[in-house]
């Protein structure tokens, strides 16, 4: 369980960094912070949209990305909780597993919306029309 938690912390730092770099690249390219004014950036920022998509899929714990691997190890540790000698842990650990599954589902819904509003659809502002890909070192 401890190894699974450390692996998840390491993976979380990787995919959260991808998402922050992607958000920063969108801000640098468009100068716009409001997601509702963005859209259609997949055509103007293909590399940024790909990197952001990888981060979204990873944080949503979908296979075959690293978020799935680490959350699967955590779930494996949770499934072994009936072997624990303490009765309190036998009750609490499955509840934590349920909350983990719920948080993964909510993260998937959140990031599908974030990616869709920002990168898909039509451009909803002039800032998107003049957007250009940032340099490779920014990503």
pTM exceeding 0.85: no
- Is the model's pLDDT at 8 over the cut of 90? no
pLDDT of residue 95: 85
The residue assigned the tokens 């958000």 is 23
Tokens describing residue 93: 């650990």
66: nearest Cα among 75, 57, 77 = 57
The rounded percent of the chain whose pLDDT value lies above 70 is: 97
Range of the domain at 125: 2-138
pLDDT of residue 138: 65
64: nearest Cα among 22, 105, 72, 97 = 72
Number of folded domains in the chain?
1
- Is the model's pLDDT at 83 over the cut of 80? no
**pLDDT tens sequence across 12-26:** 899 899 899 999 999
pLDDT band at 89 (very low <50, low <70, confident <90, very high): confident
- Neighbouring C-beta atoms of residue 35, cutoff 10 Å: 15
Q: What is the mean pLDDT of the chain?
A: 85
Q: Which residue has the higher pLDDT, 94 or 107?
A: 107
pLDDT of residue 139: 59
């Amino acid at each position: 369980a401890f190894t699974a938690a450390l692996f998840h912390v390491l993976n979380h730092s990787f995919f959260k960094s991808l998402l922050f770099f992607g958000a920063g690249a969108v801000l640098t390219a468009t100068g716009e912070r409001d997601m509702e004014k963005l859209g259609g950036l997949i055509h103007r920022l293909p590399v940024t949209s790909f990197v952001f998509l990888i981060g979204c899929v990873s944080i949503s714990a979908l296979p075959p990305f690293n978020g799935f691997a680490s959350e699967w190890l955590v779930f494996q540790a949770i499934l072994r909780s009936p072997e624990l000698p303490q009765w309190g842990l036998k009750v609490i650990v499955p509840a934590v597993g349920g909350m983990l599954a719920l948080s993964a589902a909510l993260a998937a819904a959140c990031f599908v919306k974030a990616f869709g509003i920002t990168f898909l659809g039509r451009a909803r502002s002039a800032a998107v029309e003049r957007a250009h890909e940032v340099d490779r070192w920014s990503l």
